[in-house]
Amino acid sequence: MTTVPGLNARIVSRDGWAVSHAVVTVTDMTGQQVLRAGADADGVVRDTTPLAPGAYTVIVTAVGYAPTASSAIVTASGRTEVGTVTLARLGGGAELPPPGTWLVDPAHSSVGAVAQHLGISSVRGRFTEFTAAIEIAPDEVAKSRVEAVISAASIDTGNATRDDHLRSADFLDVERHPEITFRSTGLTPGAGADRWLVHGELGMRGVVRPVDLDLAYLGTGADPWGGTRAAFRATTELRREDFAMNYNQVVRAGIAAIGTTLRVEIEIQAVQGTD
């Protein structure tokens, strides 16, 4: 970062992303504001107004982040170097990727479900065809959104006979309801610094129910193709009867062949896109 007279700083989130809507306010020792400047797209704050030598307080604010305050000394040249300031999200939640649209990469993502079988083991399946987009809000992270569409007929449990039964009217009823949809309605911090609860509505078999996803943001990094990717893991538990999937068999001593609940397990890689 080039050193120039006045104020120089860079504002980033805890995982190193630029906070482009940050504002830096400088006050003198009497509390009077002497300078106020906003960050650019790279999180850099640069103002060439010379300041009188002495001690100042530098306050950094940004919507959705906890403010910070620190002391700074302006040299005889009228220059102050604040350096890099790291802001933490409000509400105890983890950082999320930079604002904007992120498109889910189906080739490096999975949507799976686990059902109990005979009361002693589990059967796993996955949907092989789906699309999804994530919109990270620039100011209020709670306004971030996600939408997904899954092809119900793409269910794959590794057994063709079982898959055909799951596609039938006993379960997914794919002829009448070919798509499973999810649309988020809100986002709140979860139980832990890297966790969020994604509140939304799941549509399946013509029934729409509220569903909360327990989401972990796993981080962001560059990919080999020049793009930027973010990774997420999400889980939830569904009751089959909530979506009119009541089929079952009692095989012995009251034990059902198929459990009444499904555990949904989602692994996501999303690629940074454009608005």
Domain borders along the chain are 6-88, 100-272
Low-confidence ranges of the chain (pLDDT < 50): 1-3, 92-93, 118-120, 249-256, 275
Q: Which runs of E-coded beta strand occur in 14-104?
A: 23-27, 33-38, 44-47, 54-61, 68-74, 79-87, 100-104
| Predicted pLDDT of residue 250 | 43
At 52, phi and psi to the nearest 5? -65, 140
Q: What is the pLDDT of residues 26-57, one digit of tens each?
A: 998 888 998 899 998 788 998 888 888 888 99
Closest CA to 258 of 117, 133, 138, 128: 117
Whether this model's pTM surpasses 0.75: no
| Predicted pLDDT of residue 275 | 46
CATH code of the domain made up of 100-272: 2.40.128.110
| Predicted pLDDT of residue 82 | 86
C-alpha to C-alpha distance for 121 and 77, rounded to whole angstroms: 73
| Predicted pLDDT of residue 190 | 75
Task: Give percent helix, percent strand, percent coil of the chain, each to the nearest 5.
Answer: 10, 55, 35
**CB neighbours of residue 159 within 10 Å:** 12
Q: What is the pLDDT of residues 199-237, one digit of tens each?
A: 999 999 999 999 999 998 887 777 777 888 888 999 999
| Predicted pLDDT of residue 90 | 66
The token pair at 103 is 């498109």
At 155, phi and psi to the nearest 5? -60, 135
CATH level 3 topology of 6-88: Immunoglobulin-like (2.60.40)
